[in-house]
């Protein structure tokens, strides 16, 4: 399968309102995971961009995926970016990203001694960074929002959720999912692990 | 849904020449994966397209306890000596003269999101770099740039790098004239030129509009051009003072005057002649002595001057030397006819921002606005925001600067409050641009294979610390420049800073401790007029205190109007060192283990991750490149034949032979043109008839293949096309043997 056919995308779980994670501590944690050889990718860099406003504060850069403490859009959260070797179909690609994202969130919370409830259980931001495959236009929305909805359904135990296009026209195609009656974050993490 | 490629999607948008180059590179990637290109040749090939290596690309990374092997998928494939194929790299994007359009910036933002980490980085040579890019993404990345008029060709490697120019050109009070069209002419004339393909090392050219301001930094460039005018026969003529042989690196060399007057008409041929002299006579074996500055010192400026004049006389006339003079005004910029938001109230912080980030133009009512980028970094979202501001407030007047910032020119004074407010919303309104708290840094140990200490880690700490105390400083102190290099190679330009730091390592009781050598009193003004003094090394964790000490002393002890450089010279190196002695001690590991870790990195410090740098590239001769192009042509011909396209295969086979012939013939005839008739004729006259192109088994038989096929024209059927391809392969094989013979002759040895 050609590299070019795999989906490139980004999923982000924001922190709950008022929640904070210290980028310095997160960076140290990423370094420890590398020492422990416990990263599910070839982990190469821990990049510090705390000096940049509303950006990726600290990244665990891997060969195929990055795990990012991210403040894009002014909201701090944890993001998983799939850069290469992604699944050719969107639903499995999203599922893989969600497994890694929520698994990363759980592990990070545990490593830092923070409650898992730091992460919002009923919110998710998605971005499809492959502009060739998913240009940011109404046609993409019509084509892919239903697939994204299908991908997210198992995450919140069948509870209803909204899925809307998000982000500016010049940005990659994005969507925001909100589940008002989401189960507890621990259940969401468990559901993601089963995807 | 059918899958489109970027090549298909952008068909018609990419200039033909740029597209062809990218296709060549993509083919070379394919050939390297098949093991059909030597790794050194491929390394220099990709470097010449700005595809650079990064730290850990040898597959090893020290995790603070031990060195780990990085299990990249294609474990045995390399993209250069000791460089793993799958290891992320850096893509350097040339921005000639720093001039960037809003659309180009938007495309770079897209590329950063899709292929990199969402961050764009501005360098000290006005380039933009994207980090953590996979090599297999680079052809599409290049296509998307080409579609908006950007080439990455010769961004790295042993060739002419990005031509930099004063960002105030056209608006500066002290300039002789606007140097931008001249810098552009030199850029495009030398790009891909034969005479810059055989250099032993990189070559850097800069343009300055005047002598006293720093913008062009002529004194540390291989060629520095400073605009000047003369009255000749009652008319004001434009020309340049031309200096050569400058360079920073481990030991800085100031450029020397080659000519105090080079006319507009002679600008391009003079640059070409200088490049030829360097390509011909520059050191190619010892990489540490291969820069042009060493040749200038070795031969002396008088001899260099003579050699350049002699080479100039031999050059084949080229209409491009003067054709650009008929459209000098095409880069002229103008403001919007009216301010767009004149009634906007001033936001908090406006006054300080205006005092530090806004420079009045010589045209009344207009300003050049600096957008300060922390460590030269900004996000894709910020880049898109800046692009919108460029379109809203200017007529596309954006620049990247050598101090790792952005600049917008021709902003109406009345629009400054509105622009500031927009920059605040983007998180890009930090004041203090180009001053003390705007610390310049190379990438250092974050991503550079040669980094010794964390320059970015230190720079971030200094910027944060200095930014909080601006109200306690005088304007003189606030205007000081701090520059940090991660090693002695000076990519952070520490030699010309008021306070410069370069990364070094020291051994303390058997443990490695990151240090920085302190260099004080460099001169940024006067085109980087002089270099600083090295005082001594301090542990990295003490550098902030050193900065406090030196700036504090300057603040308290300077005389009225005294620059930091003059202050340093007045109080003397011994006195400064004495004041820094107490910062040089390193506590024991038990007392303070933080000294044994670098800024922003919790790992125990090590120099074990230092790799083989790619700044020096690989020395690959013009002939080697030409023969590689011939081999690639044969490969493509074979593929065409396999696809049944025998006519195109035949044409490609002939072109491959011509490529090989040109590569060899140019060794004996540097002015060889590019037309096939001339190449074949000169090849016959200079290599075939004297019996140079021959080998022990076939004699001169293989040479006849080119001569015959060139004369015969297109073959009539597929069988003849196949025959031509097979004979072309024999010809190119023979060309390799001939190359060996030429090398042996040149070195005085007898060829086998």
User: What's the ipTM?
Assistant: 0.97
Smallest Cα distance from A18 to chain B, Å: 21
* Whether pLDDT at A1 is above 50: no
Name the 3-class secondary structure at B111.
Answer: helix
Q: Which strands form B482-485's sheet, in the order they lie side by side?
A: B440-441, B482-485, B499-508, B511-520, B533-539
What letters, b where the CB count within 10 A reaches 16 and e where it falls short, cover B526-556?
ebbbbbbbbbebbbbbbbbebbebbbebbee
* Nearest CA-CA partner of B714 in B630, B649, B666, B660: B649
DSSP string for residues in B243-278: EE--B-SSS-B--EEEEEEEEHHHHHHHHHHHHHHH
Distance CA B420, CA B545 (A): 33
Q: Which of B89, B113, B143, B438 to mutate to test the interface with A (most CBs of A within 10 A)?
A: B113
Q: Domains of chain A: which residue ranges?
A: 9-193
Q: Give the model's pLDDT for residue B619.
A: 77
Q: Give the model's pLDDT for residue B740.
A: 83
Q: Give the model's pLDDT for residue B406.
A: 98
Residue owning tokens 């501590």: A25
- Element (H or E) spanning B505, and its range? strand B499-508
Smallest Cα distance from A184 to chain B, Å: 31
Flag whether residue A88 sits within 8 Å of chain B, measured between CB atoms.
no
* Nearest CA-CA partner of B277 in B259, B301, B257, B256: B301
Residues B91, B130 contacting (CB under 8 angstroms): yes
Distance CA B658, CA B682 (A): 11
Residue owning tokens 């800046």: B386
pLDDT (tens digit, 9 = 90+) per residue, B128-182? 999 999 999 999 999 999 999 999 999 999 999 999 999 999 999 999 999 999 9
Flag whether residue B377 sits within 8 Å of chain A, measured between CB atoms.
yes
Residue of A nearest to B8 (CA): A132
Distance CA B577, CA B643 (A): 73
Residues B456, B447 contacting (CB under 8 angstroms): no
Residue of A nearest to B387 (CA): A170
Q: Give the model's pLDDT for residue B1.
A: 45
Task: Quote the tokens at residue B6.
Answer: 């970027």
Smallest Cα distance from A52 to chain B, Å: 6
> In chain B, which stretches have pLDDT less than 70?
1-3, 469-470, 696, 749-752
Residues B647, B724 contacting (CB under 8 angstroms): no
Residues B458, B501 contacting (CB under 8 angstroms): yes
**For residue B384, which residues of chain A lie inside 8 Å, CB to CB?**
168, 170-171
Task: Quote the tokens at residue B373.
Answer: 């980028």
Task: Quote the tokens at residue B192.
Answer: 């891909």
Flag whether residue A35 sits within 8 Å of chain B, measured between CB atoms.
yes
Answer whether B119 sits within 8 Å of A52, measured CB to CB.
yes
Query: What is the DSSP-derived secondary structure letter of residue A136?
Result: S
* Whether pLDDT at A37 is above 90: yes
Distance CA B504, CA B94 (A): 29
Answer whether B377 sits within 8 Å of A51, measured CB to CB.
yes
Cα B18 to its chain centre, rounded Å, is 18
- Nearest residue, CB atoms, B4 vs list A73, A84, A132: A132
Smallest Cα distance from A192 to chain B, Å: 25
- Element (H or E) spanning A94, and its range? helix A90-112
A37 torsion bin: left (phi>0), alpha (psi -120 to 50), beta (else): left
Residue numbers of B between 38 and 77 with CB closer than 8 Å to A: 56, 61, 63-65, 68, 70-73
Contacts of B700 (CB under 8 A, 6+ apart): B688, B691, B693, B694
Distance CA A171, CA A177 (A): 17
Distance CA B544, CA A8 (A): 41
Count of C-beta atoms within a 10 Å radius of residue B54: 22
Flag whether residue B348 sits within 8 Å of chain A, measured between CB atoms.
no
Smallest Cα distance from A130 to chain B, Å: 6
Task: Quote the tokens at residue B71.
Answer: 């299990």
pLDDT (tens digit, 9 = 90+) per residue, B629-638? 898 899 889 9
Q: Compute the Cα dihedral for B433, B436, B440, B445 and give only its sign.
A: negative
Smallest Cα distance from B110 to chain A, Å: 8
pLDDT (tens digit, 9 = 90+) per residue, A113-127? 999 999 999 999 999
**For residue B109, which residues of chain A lie inside 8 Å, CB to CB?**
170
Pairing of strands A65-70, A77-82: antiparallel
Strand intervals (E) in B327-385: 358-360, 366-371, 377-379
Flag whether residue A140 sits within 8 Å of chain B, measured between CB atoms.
no
Q: What value, to the nearest 5°, has the Cα angle with vertex B358 and ends B501 and B519?
A: 10
**For residue B460, which residues of chain A lie inside 8 Å, CB to CB?**
48, 50-51
Q: Give the model's pLDDT for residue B534.
A: 86
Answer whether B132 sits within 8 Å of A45, measured CB to CB.
yes
Residue numbers of B between 591 and 630 with CB closer than 8 Å to A: 600-603
């Amino acid at each position: 399968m050609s590299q070019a056919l795999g989906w490139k995308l980004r999923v982000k779980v924001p922190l709950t309102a008022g929640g904070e994670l210290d980028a310095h501590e997160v960076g140290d944690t990423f370094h420890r995971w590398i020492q422990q050889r416990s990263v599910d990718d070839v982990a190469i860099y821990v990049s510090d961009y705390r000096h940049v406003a509303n950006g990726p504060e600290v990244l665990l850069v891997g060969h195929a995926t990055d795990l990012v403490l991210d403040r894009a859009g002014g909201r701090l959260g944890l993001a998983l970016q799939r850069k290469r070797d992604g699944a050719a179909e969107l639903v499995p690609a999203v599922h893989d990203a969600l497994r890694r994202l929520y698994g990363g969130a759980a592990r990070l919370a545990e490593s830092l001694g923070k409650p898992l409830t730091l992460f919002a259980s009923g919110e998710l931001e998605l971005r499809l960074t492959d502009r060739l495959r998913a240009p940011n236009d109404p046609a993409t929305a019509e084509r892919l929002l239903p697939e994204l909805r299908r991908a997210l359904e198992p995450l919140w135990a069948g509870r209803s959720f909204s899925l809307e296009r998000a982000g500016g026209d010049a940005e990659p195609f994005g969507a925001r999912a909100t589940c008002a009656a989401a189960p507890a974050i621990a259940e969401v993490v468990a559901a993601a692990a089963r995807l | 849904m059918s899958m489109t490629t970027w090549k298909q999607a952008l068909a018609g948008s990419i200039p033909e020449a740029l597209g062809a180059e990218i296709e060549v590179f993509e083919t070379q990637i394919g050939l390297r994966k098949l093991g059909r290109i030597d790794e050194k040749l491929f390394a220099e090939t990709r470097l010449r397209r700005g595809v650079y290596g990064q730290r850990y690309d040898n597959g090893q990374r020290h995790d603070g306890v031990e060195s780990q092997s990085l299990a990249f998928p294609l474990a045995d494939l390399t993209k250069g000596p000791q460089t793993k194929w799958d290891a992320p790299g850096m893509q350097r994007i040339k921005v000639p003269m720093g001039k960037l359009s809003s659309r180009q910036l938007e495309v770079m933002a897209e590329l950063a999101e899709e292929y990199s980490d969402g961050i764009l980085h501005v360098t000290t040579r006005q380039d933009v770099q994207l980090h953590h890019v996979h090599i297999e993404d680079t052809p599409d990345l290049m296509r998307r740039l080409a579609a908006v008029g950007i080439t990455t060709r010769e961004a790295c490697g042993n060739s002419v790098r990005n031509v930099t120019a004063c960002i105030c050109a056209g608006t500066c009070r002290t300039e002789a004239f606007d140097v931008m069209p001249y810098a552009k002419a030199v850029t495009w004339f030398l790009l891909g030129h034969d005479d810059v393909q055989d250099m032993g090392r990189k070559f850097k050219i800069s343009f300055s509009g005047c002598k006293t301001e720093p913008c062009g930094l002529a004194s540390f460039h291989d060629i520095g051009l400073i605009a000047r005018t003369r009255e000749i026969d009652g008319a004001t003529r434009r020309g340049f003072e031309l200096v050569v042989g400058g360079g920073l690196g481990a030991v800085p060399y100031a450029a020397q005057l080659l000519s105090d007057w080079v006319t507009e008409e002679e600008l391009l041929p003079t640059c070409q002649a200088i490049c030829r002299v360097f390509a011909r006579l520059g050191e190619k074996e010892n990489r540490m002595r291969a820069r042009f500055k060493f040749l200038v010192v070795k031969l002396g400026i008088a001899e260099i001057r003579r050699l350049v004049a002699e080479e100039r006389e031999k050059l084949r006339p080229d209409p491009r030397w003067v054709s650009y003079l008929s459209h000098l005004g095409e880069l002229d910029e103008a403001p919007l006819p009216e301010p767009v938001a004149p009634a906007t109230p001033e936001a908090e912080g406006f006054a300080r921002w205006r005092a530090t980030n806004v420079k009045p133009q010589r045209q009344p009512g207009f300003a050049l606005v600096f957008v300060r980028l922390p460590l030269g970094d900004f996000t894709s979202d910020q880049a898109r925001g800046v692009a919108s501001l460029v379109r809203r407030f200017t007529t596309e007047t954006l620049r990247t600067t050598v101090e790792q910032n952005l600049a917008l020119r021709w902003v109406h004074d009345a629009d400054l409050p509105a622009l500031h407010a927009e920059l605040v919303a983007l998180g890009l309104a930090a004041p203090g641009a180009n001053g003390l708290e705007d610390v310049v840094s190379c990438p250092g140990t974050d991503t550079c294979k040669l980094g010794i200490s964390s320059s970015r880690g230190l720079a971030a700490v200094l910027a944060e610390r200095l930014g909080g105390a601006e109200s306690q400083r005088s304007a003189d102190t606030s205007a000081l420049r701090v520059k940090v290099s991660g090693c002695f190679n000076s990519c952070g330009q520490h030699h010309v800073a008021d306070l410069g730091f370069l990364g070094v390592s020291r051994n303390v009781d058997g443990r490695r401790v990151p240090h920085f050598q302190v260099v004080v009193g460099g001169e940024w003004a006067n085109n980087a007029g002089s270099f600083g003094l090295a005082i001594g090394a301090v542990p990295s964790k003490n550098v902030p205190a050193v900065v406090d000490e030196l700036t504090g002393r300057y603040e308290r002890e300077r005389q009225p109007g005294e620059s930091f450089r003059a202050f340093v010279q007045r109080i003397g190196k011994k006195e400064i060192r004495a004041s820094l002695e107490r910062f040089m001690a390193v506590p024991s590991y038990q007392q303070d283990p933080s000294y044994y870790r670098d800024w922003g990195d919790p790992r125990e410090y090590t120099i074990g991750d230092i790799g083989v740098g790619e700044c020096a590239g690989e020395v690959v001769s013009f002939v080697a490149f030409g023969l590689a192009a011939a081999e690639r042509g044969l490969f493509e011909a074979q593929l065409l034949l396999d696809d049944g396209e025998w006519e195109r295969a035949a044409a490609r086979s002939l072109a491959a032979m011509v490529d090989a012939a040109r590569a060899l013939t140019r060794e004996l005839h540097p002015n060889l043109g590019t037309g096939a008739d001339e190449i074949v004729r000169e090849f016959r006259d200079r290599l075939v008839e004297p019996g140079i192109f021959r080998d022990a088994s076939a004699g001169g038989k293989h040479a006849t293949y080119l001569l015959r096929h060139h004369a015969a024209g297109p073959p009539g059927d597929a069988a003849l096309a196949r025959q031509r391809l097979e004979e072309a392969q024999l010809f190119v094989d023979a060309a390799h043997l001939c190359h060996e013979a030429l090398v042996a002759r040149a070195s005085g040895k007898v060829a086998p």
